[in-house]
Amino acid sequence: MYPTVDPLAPNGISRRSFFRFAAGASAVASLPILTEAHLAYAERPRFADPNKGIHIDANENPMGPSEAARQAIIDIVPRGGRYLFSGEEELTGIFAKQEGLSAESVIPFAGSSAPLHYTVLAFTSKDRPLVTADPGYEAPMWAAKVSGASVIKVPLADPKGEARHDIKAMLAAASNPGVIYLCNPNNPTGTCTPRSDIEYAVANAPKDTVLLIDEAYIHLCDAPRSLDFVKEGKNVVVLRTFSKLYGMAGLRMGFAIGRPDLLAKISSLGGMNALPITAVAAAKASLLDADLVSTRKKIIANTRMQTLAWLKSEGYRCTPSESNCFMLDVRKPGKEVQAALAAKDMYVGRIWPAWPNSLRITVGTADEMMAFRKDFTEVMNSNTAGLVPPEMPRRLQQAPFTHLS
Ligand code: PLP
């Protein structure tokens, strides 16, 4: 049996002092919805100007929105004085039609972080734990903190090989989980869990447990999608986002897809707010761009494969990613390497406590990854022993979060 964990504990995911403001019992009820951006920012060894240096630390897409999406934004701006709910309906309708879903089984949100947070809030509680993979995306653990649920982290199976979710162990980890969270492909490893394992989870999870299948990165790989479980009326909620392949992280658009009764519970926590019409227009244009997914998937895959091949030729082990991020085993404390790279204005992703010698690397542009090779070689040939990232200036420590508390 795996121990339950406190994500706010010192050896948990909170490794920067500015998260401490949220750790007091009185603050728990108002914990913010934490996103990849917050978590990446929390790990940035010193305050970094996003316009300076190379940022391969937040699984963003340096290509940004597509040309069609940019034009759609420009075209819709003059109508920015209106709410235009019809645009949301249109967007949902296009997605539902493309995927063969009923429109009632899709709700749009400003990104997928909100429905992720709400799903955990809606279906976990003090008596209904969250089961998640380790290393895995931390946001659901923070939501569990709000609902008072315990968190059970189950190590990935075959960590030196496929690094897939250990579905049988996850199902055995609790008798009555409220939510089992499956991230496919997984953040941070970029690895996919075989379809047969996901089918096993759907078939064998306790009948009132919700399987939350996070497909934030699914467009980047060929793995089978999980929307068919929704069509079959299973206890499954699938999350999609426009933040990754579509390059709209700063614009904010995503979907929760599930049975209408499950979606009703999720949206009752905050799903009816009007969405920015610029993001709705850009998302619509992105969905209607027939070549976008395949073109971008190929570009990112090429850069990823070249980077992974180079690292392998240099003797390093990486997770077999099918996504825009991977874990790189640096064979010494990842913190030191992260700090040394940051000193060169090369910002790489965070370290998970379960794998302290690995760093998450986001696949940037081809040029950025060539710069990474150079800096990484220099850093690994230097003595990094004892290097610790300096704290952020005090005045910046809480700044990004104050409006959320
Ligand atoms: N899920 C996973 C696994 C992620 O990595 C992210 C962001 O990086 C998200 C969800 C949420 O992204 P967003 O709120 O931008 O859609």
Q: Which residues of the chain have pLDDT under 50?
A: 8-28, 392-405
Q: What angle do CA 339, 340, 342 make, to 5 degrees?
A: 65
Instruction: Give kind and range of the element (H or E) at residue 145.
Output: helix 139-147
Question: pLDDT value at position 40?
Answer: 78
Q: Give the β-pairing of 179-183 and 210-214.
A: parallel
**Domains of the chain: residue spans and CATH:** 12-63+293-384+392-404 (3.90.1150.10), 67-287 (3.40.640.10)
Distance 374 CA to ligand 1 centre (A): 29
How far, in whole angstroms, is CA 320 from its chain's centroid? 18
Q: Across the beta sheet with 358-362, what order do the strands follow?
A: 317-318, 325-329, 358-362
Distance 333 CA to ligand 1 centre (A): 26
Residue type, 144: A
Place of tokens 């209904």: 128
Q: Which atom of ligand 1 is nearest to the CA of 253?
A: 16
CB-defined site of ligand 1, < 6 Å: 35-36, 59, 111-113, 116, 137, 183, 187, 214, 216, 241, 243, 249, 254
pTM: 0.90
Question: pLDDT value at position 381?
Answer: 96
Q: 151 pairs with which residues across the strands?
A: 5, 130
Could you tell me the end-to-end alpha-carbon distance of the chain, in angstroms, rounded to an integer?
A: 35
As given in the structure block, the two tokens for residue 372 are 């990474």
Distance 110 CA to ligand 1 centre (A): 11
Residue having the nearest C-alpha atom to atom 1 of ligand 1: 216
Q: Are residues 252 and 110 in contact, defined by beta-carbon separation less than 8 angstroms?
A: yes
Q: Across the beta sheet with 151-155, what order do the strands follow?
A: 4-5, 151-155, 130-134, 179-183, 210-214, 236-241, 254-258, 106-109
Q: pLDDT tens, 268-293?
A: 998 778 999 999 999 999 999 999 99
Instruction: Calculate the alpha carbon distances from 12 to 5, 352, 403 in Å.
Output: 8, 8, 24
Distance (Å, whole) CA 64 – CA 251: 10
Distance 112 CA to ligand 1 centre (A): 6
Question: pLDDT value at position 387?
Answer: 82
Q: Which atom of ligand 1 is nearest to the CA of 241?
A: 16
Burial pattern 4-42, b for ≥16 Cβ within 10 A else e, equals ebbbbeeebbbebebbeebbeeeeeeebbbbbbbbbbbb
Distance (Å, whole) CA 252 – CA 157: 33
Question: pLDDT value at position 41?
Answer: 72
* Ligand 1 pocket test target in 13, 116, 275 with most atoms within 8 Å of CB: 116
DSSP per-residue codes, 156-223: PBSTTTT-B--HHHHHHS-SS-SEEEEESSPTTT-PPPPHHHHHHHHHHS-TTPEEEEE-TTGGGS-S
Q: Which atom of ligand 1 is nearest to the CA of 242?
A: 16
Distance 37 CA to ligand 1 centre (A): 8
* Ligand 1 pocket test target in 107, 120, 137 with most atoms within 8 Å of CB: 137
* Ligand 1 pocket test target in 112, 321, 352 with most atoms within 8 Å of CB: 112
Distance (Å, whole) CA 307 – CA 328: 11
Residue having the nearest C-alpha atom to atom 6 of ligand 1: 36
Distance 108 CA to ligand 1 centre (A): 14
Question: pLDDT value at position 391?
Answer: 55
DSSP per-residue codes, 294-338: HHHHHHHHHHHHHHHHHHHHTT-EE---SSSEEEEE-SS-HHHHH
Q: Alpha helices, DSSP H only, in 45-100? A: 67-76, 85-99
Q: Which atom of ligand 1 is nearest to the CA of 243?
A: 15
Question: pLDDT value at position 20?
Answer: 43
Question: pLDDT value at position 385?
Answer: 85
Distance (Å, whole) CA 148 – CA 131: 14
Distance (Å, whole) CA 187 – CA 184: 8
* Ligand 1 pocket test target in 33, 34, 35 with most atoms within 8 Å of CB: 35
* Ligand 1 pocket test target in 33, 34, 179, 243 with most atoms within 8 Å of CB: 243
As given in the structure block, the two tokens for residue 27 are 């603050």
Distance 36 CA to ligand 1 centre (A): 6
Distance 35 CA to ligand 1 centre (A): 6
Distance (Å, whole) CA 380 – CA 372: 12
360 in helix, strand or coil?
Answer: strand
Answer left, alpha or beta for residue 241, where phi above 0 means left and psi between -120 and 50 means alpha. beta
As given in the structure block, the two tokens for residue 347 are 């910002």
Q: Which atom of ligand 1 is nearest to the CA of 59?
A: 8
Residue having the nearest C-alpha atom to atom 8 of ligand 1: 36
Q: Which residues contact 371 (CB under 8 A, 6 or more apart)?
A: 54, 346
Distance 382 CA to ligand 1 centre (A): 34
Distance 40 CA to ligand 1 centre (A): 11
Distance 285 CA to ligand 1 centre (A): 21
Question: pLDDT value at position 47?
Answer: 54
Can you give the C-alpha Rg of the chain in angstroms? 20
Of 369, 365, 362, 330, nearest in space to 348 by CA: 362
Distance 377 CA to ligand 1 centre (A): 30
Q: Which atom of ligand 1 is nearest to the CA of 183?
A: 3
